[in-house]
Every structure is written in structure tokens, then in C-alpha cells.
Amino acid sequence: MGQITVRELEERILELEEVVVRIRAPHDALVNDYAGKDGAYERKAAGTTSVSDWLEQRIKPSINGLEYSIINGDYSTPHGRTKLSTLRNSYEK
């Protein structure tokens, strides 16, 4: 697994997952690439996945213990049981 900057990771997550994640680190700090065991993610996580499961499976392995925030459409933090489809729908298109 390669490394990318925090800024690149935030941008990749937004582009693929359609979710805003802010990582508390300098934007040029290095973190693990947004990828699973089989390589880079090509599809967004299922809408039925909870935010907490998504964080455990996809986000936390990339950020090396750094603090982060998930921001929904009304600029608040969604509950961990919120489904990704609900979170994605909270953003104005």
C-alpha cells in the first residue's frame, strides 16, 4: 500500500464515496493510500453500510490513528449508525 498526502486522501474519498472527511493533520502529511487488500477502491461503499462500519473498514486503515471528522450536509457530525445513503443524500447537489 502506497502513501499519499492527507489532502489527496480527502479528495479521493470525496470523489469516490461522495462523503466529506476532514483529517486533522497538515495537508502535506503522508497517510496510507485509500485502498483495500486487493488494491485501490474502484466503487463506493454500499449505501446500506453504516458510517461506523465504513470508518472501520475503509477510512481508519488509511489514516494511521489521526483524528478525523465526517461532515454531513448541514455541517454536523452524523451518528455512527447513519447509513451512507442518508449521509450522501444530506449534501446539496
Question: Cα(24)–Cα(22) distance, rounded to whole angstroms?
Answer: 7
HSE at residue 64, side-chain half, CA atoms within 13 A, is: 14
Residue 93 scores a pLDDT above 80: no
- Quote the number of domains for the chain: 1
* Residue 35, all three cell numbers: 485502498
Question: Cα(75)–Cα(58) distance, rounded to whole angstroms?
Answer: 22
Tens of pLDDT, residues 4-17: 999 999 999 999 99
Tens of pLDDT, residues 18-77: 999 999 999 899 999 999 888 899 999 999 999 999 999 999 999 989 999 999 999 999
* Residue 51, all three cell numbers: 458510517
Question: Cα(89)–Cα(93) distance, rounded to whole angstroms?
Answer: 9
Q: Which residues span the domain enclosing 41?
A: 3-89
